[in-house]
Structure 1
């Protein structure tokens, strides 16, 4: 059998020509190529699952500890601790907060800041830049906000608690991803992207509702000062140096102004994040970083070191740098502390009995569990029926049903809004019980749905049938679009076996002539081939100028020279418009095109390159010229 680059773990002493073992995961290569920051990416079963389970597990542990603490023999210490005061004085200004307010008003501002960075990035560079890809999760998110609110109001209309409808509108992203990693399908790539995009829209709505609905009284002067501070934040990007310190000082001042204005101060984090610039690195900035690094290497000293560090840092947007820096603190510190401070519900007989007979509690449970599922799944099903939006391979209605059920896990923002919308501590307790119960029920419902859906999937083994039919308007096709025979290859520009297969493909095409159409699709194996994703995106950028085949041929002929500079030099040698080529390299459309092929491959559980399909059926065994010709002839005869 002809070898191929295959999934798994390679021994350190295994030659690359014999076996290239990878993780099937679409990520950015660790090279300084002009590119945008890493966006939502797909993962295989062995991909980010563990990384997503850890924050969810820590959040769950903090929740359990809070509940145990609130119900322990020393339970009185729980409220005593979180109601203890912290006082900060600066001149004539005196700021006094309880420990819980310090968490909810100050630390959670950092959480909302990270959420704002994600929202800003997705609208600028991510999934929300593509209308056909975004329409389904956006509409589903809107329905997943409106329907739970309506369900909640059906239970609470006419009561004092009706104003707490914001409790049921939001999904906890950390718990959602952790639950998906535990209970979801083995290859959840497109479903994960769907849920993440949905969560971004969900967060935007939640933040807007907090700002517009749960602000009691406005003080105009501090509010004007807050907006002036935000304007200063927007102008900070033009400073040549020292922007980090200026951002930090302005962030504190804006937070204090929002606090004094009556608007919840956590929104300061959102406002600042939306004004932090996000951009794909420009070629000149990357080249400058490389040059400064070379200078430092030639003459190591502190001055050149600072210049090199500064140039590398400035080549990446402040949005990407801040998101990478603060996300670990949010995942592993802020959210667990928030859960510890707010999830400590008293689970005695009185509280449980009140919750069981409470219209508020039932409104929360039904809003999150039934409302979220009905809104998200119902909207997706209607769009699917109307053929609106893009349902890629692997994103089935059954899997969306499981994801919609998991979306009923409303924790962080639900608990947060309870503190804003409900004043009575006893009623807050009922609401917290309901949120915890709803989250457990949503997880159970999602797990059951996924188990049923995956068991009912077709008996055909994964990867035996082509997931996405060939589309001449989308695919890279050589030969007549209506040719009777089709050969599809999933390949990697850095894979030596794909390079060798090009000669075989040429001979097969010569044999069949106009009777064959050959289709290339991307499957960049980035762990063992660090330049594969960059090469695939460069080929797609060349395709924008009608030179896909020429550029692809150059990549295969120069597999040992696929560095960022080499990819740019290749485009220049082919006479491409370099300004347009570089702009396309940084575009979301090019990245999403490669990502789509990788997601298709993931949905079929493909792990090696090259992988061939004869017509719509996967080809197993050697892929020499004679074997492929026989396989194609057999497919012709079978179709008669």
Structure 2
């Protein structure tokens, strides 16, 4: 099963998979902090909870003082770092991630909009004209950590494409929630600090554009901007989002990544200070500042800041009197309706409308049962909901308490509804796709070319598993994996067909193309695999003289029909590129890209999965043929078809 996951997991980009893992890994800690806050606020000495979080801390520089209570430092200070990470993720998704594709982002964007508007409308309909009307923004936001954590518990019933859809939705949802905070929950606006914040922001942009600053410069300017926004009356977390969006993000070229790997390999063979410096610079250039900061900060925000925020804000009295008031409070009822009904209806409609109008598409073949389950669990609103509660009702303790009870109750009910839908209808409802497109193939990439007589093949055509390698004779990774492939051939014999296709990386491997041409010349003499192993055994000796020597020892001259051989290699490489090959070695198992470790046991596990799938497919085909022709009778061991055989029993 692990191997099956290693083959299929490549549907999700590495950065996105890391983000998902961090969010789901922090869910238990966040839940523990929430329960700790609730328990602390309901102990006999519950008054210590408020006293502790009201403890005053101040930063004093000369005659200037910046002082707040401990809870405010968490909400206005540390949570700025949380929203800074959200800004990093938004920037990355728009520039190199899911949100750069209009058709991919259209559906989750409209779904997120529906999931914000409908809950706000439901809440306001219940609270219009009352003292709690200002809390309409509370049920608008989903809590990504809790949502992804619950989906991880649900397991296989929640496919990976649904997680991608909900994560994209969460990015748009966070952007909308921050906009609401900035526009509608700002009071006592002070013009002078706001102008100063704008000037500092412009200065940061200029420093970034001129490339004259380093980390400490950005840190100082960012802190000053945060302090100015805090003084202006606008919530300071807006500074975090803006600064996060500014951070540079890029997708390094494949050649740059491959070159970095080659330099590291070369450093292992020929260590020197100069090569170490060059390798360090090359490796650093393959990771953008955005990715680096996410890698550093995301664990801190997920495992420390957000749980600390939950501990500081989840403490609400749950005594019988508080619960009785909450049960009839329009604030509590509005939040529960917004999170449970509003999110579900809004996201469902927001998905159905763009699909119906063919504005966009969903990742994978999601069915409506899965999407309805996702829409339900998106009603888990916690972090940002508590955040907006503090802004809306910070000066109204009773309404704040009722709002928090509503958030907790609504989130629990939304989780239960989602769990129920996934249990009962996760594989029902038909494919979510625009009319007439459910069975259409994906034309973004061409399929992997089938094996033909022009390929270099070891093993029979009827082998249940075909392993295709795109390789480069100068690539050290290709050379390192060859003993593993030889052992696989020895282990599986005729049950495995091994295919080699050329993919010379000429920009970083100057001898790769000449070596491929020599291998093709050897193939014309019926000696491809012999030359194949010679070339991989002499990866550091592939100049023209070396190649000529290998060819002469096998009895042929390699430089005949070079143009024709070159066209053949380029044709193979071009077809591989269209099928998604970008580096070497790249492997495909029965047409599915394998991205597990290049070691024996992971390969064995993946091949066994593919072999079992092929066996089941063959069995189903045979059963279908037998059902179609009832006159067919199985022949037993003695050939009379009576099933008696020779009287010996067999088990299968």
- TM-score relative to the length of structure 1: 0.70
Pair 1:240–1:275, CA change in 2 (3 A): closer
How far 1:353 sits from its partner (Å)? Answer: 1.5
Shift, 1:283, TM fit: 5.8
Paired residue for 1:204?
A: 175
Which residue does 1:265 correspond to in 2? 236
What is the root-mean-square deviation of aligned Cα atoms in Å? 4.8
Do structure 1's residue 40 and structure 2's residue 40 form an aligned pair? no
Aligned to 1:434: 406
Residues 449-488 of structure 1 correspond to what in structure 2 (within 5 A)?
A: 449-454=421-426, 469=439, 471=441, 473=443, 476=446
* Cα distance in structure 1, aligned partners of 2:440 and 2:30: 44
1:64 equivalenced with 2:35 (yes/no): yes
1:390 deviation in Å? 2.0
Q: Deviations over 1:419-456 (max 9, x none)?
A: 11112112111111110111111100100011011476
Query: What's the CA shift for 1:160?
Result: 2.3
Q: Evaluate the alpha carbon distance shift between residue 575 and residue 60 of structure 1 in structure 2; reply closer, same or farther with a 3 A threshold.
A: same
Counterparts in 2 of 1:428 and 1:472: CA distance versus 1, 3 Å: closer
Distance 2:101 2:363 in 1: 14
- 2:98 corresponds, among 124, 127, 131, to 127
Q: Aligned pair 1:504/2:461, yes or no?
A: yes
Note the C-alpha offset of 1:226.
1.5
Change (3 A) 1:449 1:90: same
In structure 2, C-alpha distance between the alignment counterparts of 1:472 and 1:54, rounded to whole Å: 33
Cα distance between partner residues in 2 of 1:26 and 1:567: 30
Instruction: Say whether the 8 Å CA contact 1:171–1:410 is kept in structure 2.
Output: yes
1:300 is displaced (CA, Å) by 4.6
Q: 1:500 to 1:298 in 2, by over 3 A?
A: closer
Distance 1:149 1:570, change over 3 A: farther
SS at match of 2:500: helix
Q: Residue in 1 aligned with 2:10? A: 26
SS at match of 1:72: coil
Which of residues 354, 374, 377 in structure 1 aligns to 2:345?
374
Give the deviation of 1:230 after TM superposition: 1.9
The higher relative CO (CA closer than 8 Å, separation ≥ 6) is in 1
**Contact 2:165–2:362 under 8 Å retained in 1:** no
Secondary structure of the residue aligned to 2:248 is: coil
| Cα distance change, pair 567–63 in 1 and its aligned pair in 2 (3 A) | farther
CA distance change for structure 1 residues 569 and 362 in 2, over 3 Å: closer, same or farther? farther
Q: Is the 8 A contact 1:137 1:198 kept in 2?
A: yes
The answer to whether 1:335 aligns with 2:279 is: no
Aligned-partner Cα distance in 2 for 1:297–1:239 = 39
Distance of 1:444 and 1:522 partners within structure 2: 45
Describe the SS at the equivalent of 2:65: strand
Partner deviation per Cα, 1:499-527 (whole Å, 9 max, x = no partner):
8589738x99xxxxxxxxxxx99999xxx
Query: Taking structure 1 as reference, are residues 92 and 148 closer, same or farther at Cα in structure 2, changes over 3 Å only?
Result: same
1:261 offset after TM fit, Å? Answer: 1.5
SS in 2 for 1:25: helix
Aligned to 1:557: 501
What is the distance in 1 between the residues matched to 2:146 and 2:162? Answer: 15
Query: Mean Cα displacement is larger for which, 408-417 or 260-269?
Result: 260-269
Deviates more, 1:233-242 or 1:330-339: 233-242
The 1:102–1:306 alpha-carbon spacing in structure 2 relative to 1, beyond 3 Å, is: farther
Any gaps of 5 or more consecutive residues in structure 2? 431-436, 471-475, 479-497, 517-565, 583-590, 595-604, 630-652
Number of equivalent positions: 526
**Deviation (angstroms), 1:245:** 1.8
| Structure 1 pair 306–296 and aligned structure 2 pair: CA distance change class (3 A) | farther
Q: Tell me which moved more, 259-268 or 56-65.
A: 259-268
Q: Distance in 2 between matches of 1:287 and 1:562?
A: 9
- Bigger Rg, structure 1 or 2: 2
C-alpha contact (below 8 Å) 1:280/1:586 kept by paired residues: no
Corresponding position of 2:368: 397
**Matched residue, 1:550:** none
Q: Tell me whether 121-130 or 305-314 shows the greater mean CA deviation.
A: 305-314
- The Cα shift of 1:367 comes to 0.6
Selected match of 2:615 from 609, 614, 620: 620
Q: Give, in whole Å, the separation in 1 of the partners of 2:151 and 2:237.
A: 28
In 1, Cα distance between equivalents of 2:415 and 2:162 = 16
Per the normalisation by structure 2, the TM-score is 0.69
| SS across alignment from 1:557 | strand
Preserved CA contact (<8 Å) 1:369 1:405: yes
Q: Aligned pair in 2 of structure 1 residues 393, 297: CA closer, same or farther (>3 Å)? A: closer
SS at 1:264 equivalent = coil
Structure 1 residues 52-73: Cα deviation after superposition (integer angstroms, max 9, x where no partner): 5431111000000000000111
**How is 1:240-279 mapped onto 2 (pairs within 5 angstroms)?**
243-279=214-250
Q: Distance in 1 between matches of 2:388 and 2:469?
A: 44
8 Å contact from structure 1 (residues 120, 274) kept in 2: yes
- Quote how far apart the aligned CAs of 1:362 are: 0.5
> Residue 14 of structure 1 aligns with which residue?
none
Task: Give the drift of 1:218.
Answer: 2.3
Aligned residue runs from structure 1 range 120-269, under 5 A: 120-183=91-154, 185-186=156-157, 188-237=159-208, 243-269=214-240
Q: Is the 8 A contact 1:531 1:562 kept in 2?
A: no
